[in-house]
Chains A and B, each alone.
Chain A
């Protein structure tokens, strides 16, 4: 017999959002940011992607923050995989906090060997243990606040397969999806709001 004793819900720390913002999406140009960091690809053959594009509207409210080091790891990963002609993917690891509403912070990423093509990506089953090693290194009570993956020149948007993943795993109001395209030089963030996929602004902080 299995008996549930109790559920212990994650407690959200009450804390103001990060102050040391170095980039704010919507106010600044992400192409310029990516270019300065060297994470863009000058020219490659364009890939035809037949994935259905989910139409989204950009929300105004900022409640998604990415630490600079984590952002660089994401852009670096997407860039290096794109050079091999493959999509990249990983988990966004961080925390959820409260200040005039819930907001999420990405402090780090966890990724591993991928089954990847120019139009598809998934973790290799045996690679999960690499992710577990990474999770073991984290000293705070982490939350997987979302996931990132890349597109190879067919722009940044949520496809129907991306939306399925979002609905299946990352369907809470603090979850996000980052979609990076090193070729079209875009990085957009999305989340489900009342079960609808919306584009959201994000800020990168030091």
Chain B
């Protein structure tokens, strides 16, 4: 199925083809590598929920056309 990963920091998107047994982590890794980001540094958003990285596409109930968004997790001091 086709899904989209959006980078909240730039508004850029990647359209990708994924399979039921791919994990969210693998998807994020692929997009993060493309954008040269650290995949572990982000909170993953699907609609109103945080998506757990260890879930597969099937377990996370990802649907064709879904948009996953990478949200920064800043720290200030």
Q: Contacts of A91 on B, CB cut-off 8 Å?
A: 72, 74
- Whose C-beta in chain A lies nearest to the C-beta of B50? A128
Q: Contacts of B15 on A, CB cut-off 8 Å?
A: 4-8
Q: Which of A5, A87, A120 has the most CB of B within 10 A?
A: A5
**Taking the complex as formed, is A144 at the interface, i.e. its CB lies under 8 A from any CB of chain B?**
yes
A144 vs B26: C-alpha distance in the bound complex, in angstroms?
24
Which residues of chain B from 1 to 37 have a CB within 8 Å of any chain A CB? Answer: 2, 8-19, 22, 26-27, 30-31, 34
What is the size category of the interface that chain B forms with chain A? 35 or more
A133 vs B71: C-alpha distance in the bound complex, in angstroms?
13
What is the size category of the interface that chain A forms with chain B? 35 or more
B interface, over-half SS: mixed
A7 vs B33: C-alpha distance in the bound complex, in angstroms?
13
Q: Contacts of A165 on B, CB cut-off 8 Å?
A: 72, 74-76
Decide yes or no: A133 and B76 within 8 Å by CB, A3-B16, A8-B13 being known contacts: no
- Is the pair A5, B48 in contact by a Cβ cutoff of 8 Å? no
- Is the pair A132, B48 in contact by a Cβ cutoff of 8 Å? yes
Q: Which of B10, B12, B34 has the most CB of A within 10 A?
A: B10
**Taking the complex as formed, is A172 at the interface, i.e. its CB lies under 8 A from any CB of chain B?**
yes
- Is the pair B13, A119 in contact by a Cβ cutoff of 8 Å? no
- Is the pair B48, A122 in contact by a Cβ cutoff of 8 Å? no
The smallest beta-carbon distance between A125 and chain B, in angstroms, is 8
A64 vs B68: C-alpha distance in the bound complex, in angstroms?
28
Which residues of chain A from 89 to 146 have a CB within 8 Å of any chain B CB? Answer: 89, 91, 96, 119-123, 125, 128-129, 131-133, 135-136, 141-144
Q: Which B residues have a C-beta under 8 Å from some C-beta of A?
A: 2, 8-19, 22, 26-27, 30-31, 34, 38, 41, 43, 45, 47-50, 69, 71-77
